[in-house]
Amino acid sequence: MFLSVIIPAYNEEKRLGGTLEAVDQYLFRQPYDYEVVVVNDGSTDETAKLVRDYAPKIKGLRLINQEVNQGKGWAVRRGILETTGRIKIFMDADNSTTIDHLEKMLPLFEAGYDVVIGSRRTPGAQIVIHQSGLKEFIGRLANFWIKFFAYEDSKDTQAGFKAFTESAGAKVFSRLTLKQWGFDFEALAIAKNLKLKIGEIPIRWVNDPLSRVRPSAYFKTMLEAVQVRWNLTRGVYN
């Protein structure tokens, strides 16, 4: 299996269908084999049923079902560790960054990179629809905090579009400790600590006004950045 696409989902019955169709339309034209894995993170709506209904129509689609909500980080962790692709990429259920960005990532993997992340704050990136002014302000504050405590090599650790080689994914996510929003920068901190080669591409990102990420989540994430620094200091990720 060349590619595993992992989509964590929590109560995404209204947005996930369009994303699955878009992913299918792109991947169906590619020459490599692939799977599309939705990790249902304890949804209370019809997310799991939607995936089961789409499964006969979309090549390689399957469901990993978590009965209890664990958090996005733990859903991604399970997807990474329970898929078989030589390249594993996770993306958001709202399709805020489209799967065709993978084309920019593959040359970096061919050049020997272990991890490639999408960034909204690198030259060439485009934010089509912005978040609210409050969210953007808190997000910039959180990014500064994350760079100081957890991972300093990127201006945008939180975009939900990241890819790993099979080996890198196993090494990084088997060491993951954070279950929610801080998992992105924890994964990057672990990868850097393991001396894996990390690349970055610019992405085109569209904010979904229906996003359920509350401003308070940013402050919790800032506390998780301190936890990552503490873990690094204690050698937890070695």
Stretch among 69-83, 89-103, 215-229 having the lowest mean pLDDT: 215-229
| Tens of pLDDT, residues 133-142 | 656 666 677 7
Give the total number of structural domains in the chain: 1
Give me the CATH number covering residue 91.
3.90.550.10
CB 90 within 8 A of CB 76: yes
* pLDDT score, position 136: 67
* pLDDT score, position 130: 61
C-alpha 187/C-alpha 199 separation (Å) is 14
Q: Residue 40 sits in which domain range?
A: 3-234
Q: How far is CA 229 from CA 79, 149, 151, 186, in A?
A: 25, 6, 9, 9
pTM of the entire structure? 0.93
Mean pLDDT of all residues in 210-233: 83
* pLDDT score, position 128: 81
Give the burial string for 200-226 (b: 16+ CB within 10 Å, else e). Answer: bbbbbbebeeeeeeeeebbeebbebbe
Residue 213 pLDDT exceeds 70: no
Give the distance from CA 48 to its chain's centroid. 19
Q: How far is CA 53 from CA 13, 49, 124, in A?
A: 12, 6, 38
Residue 111: pLDDT band by 50, 70, 90 thresholds? Answer: very high
> How many percent of the chain have pLDDT more than 70?
92
Residue for token digits 């699955």? 20
Task: Spell out the SS3 assignment of 87-105.
Answer: EEEECCCCCCCCHHHHHHH
Name the residue type at position 120.
Answer: R
Q: Which residues does residue 116 pair with via DSSP β-bridges, in sequence order? A: 163, 199
